Structure 1
Amino acid sequence: MLGRGWVDPQARCRRRRIGWIVTAIVLVILLAVPGGYVWWALTAPLSAPVVETQAPPVTVPAAAAVSLPSTGSAAIAVAGGDEYLGEGASGIWAASGSAEPQSIASITKLITALVILERHPLADASDPGPTITFSKADHDLYDQYYVRGATIAAMPTGSSMSLHDALATMLIPSASNYAEAVSTWAFGSQWAFRGAAQQWLAANGLTGTTIVEPTGLDARNTSTPADLITLGKLAAANPTIASIAKTPSLGLPGPGAMQNTNDLLGSNGITGLKTGNLGEGTYNLLFTASIPVGTPEPLSVTGVVLGGMTRANVNRDVMALIDSIRSGFHEVPVAKRDQPVGTITTPWGSSAQVVVSDYVTIFTWSDTPISVEMTTTTPKTYTDGEVVGSITWTAGPNTVTVPIEIDGAIEPPTDTWRLMNPGELGK
């Protein structure tokens, strides 16, 4: 029989083994947990850097001031610029002063020429047309218009001239005796010419225009600025008239050397058409111009100024008007190279900027609104120069796009930061 303090040796061995196992497990846990944390902290994924962007603001220039005359009346139409100036630009785009009929003086001769050419059309600008032989009655017109102070050109009795050259003599120096002689030749009498002129005006919708004789010396020859814009387009579309109107000087047997009364020809793109005046306060110019402004094709301008005090005043007004149109077209800066448009930030303190990759301008007219749109993509490498999107500006018919890129680089966090910031890991 065993005593009370006796312990089974086998049980004692089992308890020791269990103790050793527990101790080993505890030691393994105590040693493994720190090592496992370190491994996890150093390899856990990081939350993506925060990318914030904002499109750059755009400053739209002030509205262009179209320089219209402050006295008299004016109107202007512009073809080829509808995308910039609006769909109505080819009609009356801008106007000033009275829209009522006014004396047009020698602008009348454009109507006279077009009415004659409707009766006796020429094939093209080089077609001389029929020959006109001048009678003594035609020659006598020289003295009749001379005493009236009108512009005249020699027309010897029995001399002859092609219709083309006769029209040129009527339009370039504005010879009034030629206007009456050629219109009488074309229609047989001045009464018949007036009837033909009225029919031509009605057929072309020039209801605000009145013609009582072919030269413009009669102040009752009147028209509105709107009608004269239409007249200018009709004249410019006629090859013969357009060719004659842009000729600065001409020499012909009989009339001799002649200078165009439109001394703005060739200045500021002016290509025609006709001057007219009845003295101080009645200086007029119906003009066409081709104006390069940076668009694919030059603008085609038709304009009229009526009631100028002097020819110099009218010329100055027309030049200022064309200059103001040209200067209204411009390249508007919208962004600078390396201009910041965003930031990239990280919890561990590394950061970089998002910048515009190049200097950017957009071509537009006046104060046309400029819209801006930015698109971005998720960076892949977060390295300097990586393209992360683009910005597009739109103004009227034009758009321009430039990439945006990272300026700087995102550096990875240090091991110490990873170990000390477990809450920022694994997200």
Structure 2
Amino acid sequence: MSPSRAHYRRRRIVVGSLLVIVALLGTYVPVALLSPVPAATAVIPEAAPLASTPVTLATPGTGASAIGIAAGGADVTALGTSGSADPLPIASITKSITALVVLDAKPIPEGGDGPELTMTEADTAILQATIAAGGSWASVYPGQVLSERQVIEIMMLESANNYSVTLTNWAFGSTAAYLAAATTWLADHGLTGTTVVDTSGLDPGSRSATADLLTIASMVLADPVLGTIVGTATDQVPQLGEIENTNTLIGTAGIDGVKTGTTDEAGFCLLFSADVSAGASGQTVQLVGVVLGAAGEDELHAAVLALLQSAQSGFQTLPLVNAGDVIGSYTTPWGAEADIVAGGSLSETVWSQAEVAREAEARQVSSGASGTEVGTARYTVTGTTLGGGELTVPLTLSEELDGPDAWWKLTHPFR
């Protein structure tokens, strides 16, 4: 082969090879640059255990007690009890039931006082019978005119037994008819541990369990008429002048109700309520409680205040997570890194011992700007909580997570 032909052949081979390389590069480069890149999987370590401190209630050494959180209407979250859970005599606390049953049958419009009641000789006879039986009473005379609300005020604040009979006779026609209605009302509200055999509680057969009494207290507070009455320390009633609440703890330690009761069989009793500040959140919580069977008024007051204050001390606000807390991280195959952080702060107010569990999920990503939402952290609180028991916060990138550069893409053809 002549030198010229050999040279020409070599040139064709070189040119052909270059054309092949150019063609391959023309295909590979855009494919390498434009093909998907692998995503980074989040690494999220397990959360450290989080729990609140248990609290022991200061319950009385004698009698029975209970305390809980009023959640509106008949809903109560019980916090603790002491003594017997069986029905016990409740003395004049019975009048709380009397008022609820009457108002259920004869409701007073909001802002009103209800219809007027004119006292008769029959009401004077009721007064004399009450005095003879040794019950608490308030004066009454024929021709005296009082509104339904005023009669309830006298019954609840001064704990007048005779007014409880006058009220129920007006509402139902007779004590027997009232007791039948009250029995049905108690059953309808699931208060199976409560029995009433009179309107006032002077008869020790009028009994209730402490769990039922928490519900009854909550229902009293939820009633727009009774909720106001039971928190009143003194009031003025026409023809009677100033009447005073037998619950002398009104205004002490946030106490704003509900009803006293004292008989030889029941001892000294108080169904009470109080608005208290819960934990560091400053949230106001309505507590309801009861102490039955105290030996005297001083012992009763001491037991109520100790129980109330110990219950309030059990509220704790747990900081679950703060905005910017590192929850996990990403590391990409090309070496880029970014932390996964909480996109907000969460706290929860709990009572006594509660435990917190965290579940966090973050999706696979290959790149993202700082602040990009990448997942969710869910905190589940087990125990008595003022919230819903489950809270969530978004997870975001703490900084920009860079994607791969061209060189990494070109040098990783088999990704």
With the length of structure 1 as denominator, give the TM-score of the two structures: 0.67
Q: Which amino acid aligns with 1:402?
A: P
Deviations 1:338-391, CA, capped at 9 Å, x for gaps: 5151132445xx4322321534315465636545242325335x5x51626122
Alignment of 1:281-360 (within 5 A): 282-288=267-273, 303-308=289-294, 310-317=299-306, 319-320=308-309, 323=312, 327=315, 330=317, 332-334=319-321, 336-337=323-324, 339=326, 341-347=328-334, 350-356=335-341, 358-360=343-345
Query: Greater CA deviation, 302-311 or 35-44?
Result: 35-44
Please state if 1:260 is matched with 2:252: no
Q: Distance in 2 between matches of 1:315 and 1:94?
A: 13
CA distance in 1, matches of 2:305, 2:332: 60
* 1:375 paired to 2:365: no
State whether structure 2 residue 109 is matched by structure 1 residue 109.
no
More strand by share: 2
Structure 1: where are the runs of 5+ without partners? 1-13, 83-87
Q: Give the count of matched residue pairs.
A: 389
**Helix, strand or coil at the partner of 2:116:** coil
Counterparts in 2 of 1:76-87, with a 5 A limit?
A: 80=71
2: CA distance between counterparts of 1:29 and 1:199?
110
Are residue 51 (structure 1) and residue 40 (structure 2) matched?
yes
Question: What is the correspondence of 1:32-71 to structure 2 with a 5 Å cutoff?
Answer: 45=33, 48=37, 51-55=40-44, 57-58=46-47, 59-62=49-52, 65=55, 67=57, 69-71=59-61
Q: 2:183 aligned with 1:202, yes or no?
A: yes
1:274 pairs, out of 250, 259, 278, with 259
Q: Secondary structure at the match of 1:379?
A: coil
Counterpart of 1:5? Answer: none
Structure 1 distance, partners of 2:321, 2:275, is 29
Distance 1:196 1:232, change over 3 A: farther
1:99 aligns with: 85
**Contact 1:50–1:344 under 8 Å retained in 2:** no
Residues 268, 322 of structure 1: 8 Å contact kept = no
1:172 to 157, 160, 173: 157
Q: Match of 2:64?
A: 73
Matched-pair contact (CA < 8 Å) for 1:357–1:404: yes
Q: Tell me the SS of whatever aligns to 1:407.
A: coil
Question: Would you say the 8 A contact 1:355–1:406 is kept in 2?
Answer: yes
Q: Which residue is equivalent to 1:401?
A: 393
User: 2:113 pairs with 126, 143, 146, which one?
Assistant: 126
Query: What 5-or-longer segments of structure 2 have no aligned partner?
Result: 381-387
How far has the Cα of 1:278 moved from its partner?
A: 3.8
- Paired with 1:339 and 1:220, the residues of 2 have a C-alpha distance of 62
Task: Give the conservation status (yes or no) of the 8 Å contact 2:271–2:291.
Answer: yes
Cα distance change of structure 1 residues 159 and 138 upon mapping to structure 2, 3 Å threshold: farther
Deviation per residue, 1:396-419 (Å, 9 max, x gap): 46543324215255486697xx7x
Q: Where does residue 160 of structure 1 map in the other structure?
A: 144
Provide the rounded CA distance (Å) in 2 between the counterparts of 1:29 and 1:265: 103
Give how far 1:241 is off: 3.9
Structure 1 residues 17 and 202: CA distance shift in structure 2, 3 A: same
Structure 1, residues 130-150: CA drift from partner, whole Å, max 9, x if none?
Answer: 1214676567579758xx6x6
Specify the alignment match of 2:384 in structure 1: none
Q: Quote the offset at 1:53 in angstroms.
A: 1.0
- Aligned residue for 1:387? 372
Task: Return the alpha-carbon distance in structure 2 between the equivalents of residues 67 and 298 of structure 1.
Answer: 19
Q: Distance between the aligned counterparts of 1:217 and 1:158, measured in 2?
A: 25
User: What is the rounded CA distance, in whole Å, between the counterparts of 2:169 and 2:237 in structure 1?
Assistant: 21
RMSD across aligned positions (CA): 5.1
Sequence identity (%):
24
Query: Deviation at 1:250?
Result: 0.6
Mapped contact 1:99–1:225 kept (Cα < 8 A): yes
Task: Say if 2:118 and 2:145, in contact at 8 Å, map to a contact too.
Answer: yes
CA separation of 1:359 and 1:233: change in aligned 2, threshold 3 A: closer
Partners of 1:344 and 1:352 within 8 A in 2: yes
User: 67-76 vs 39-48, which deviates more?
Assistant: 39-48
Letter paired with 1:257: E
Work out which of the two has the higher radius of gyration on C-alpha atoms and give 1 or 2.
1
Q: Secondary structure at the match of 2:153?
A: helix
Cα contact 1:210–1:222 (8 A) shared by 2: yes
Aligned to 2:385: none
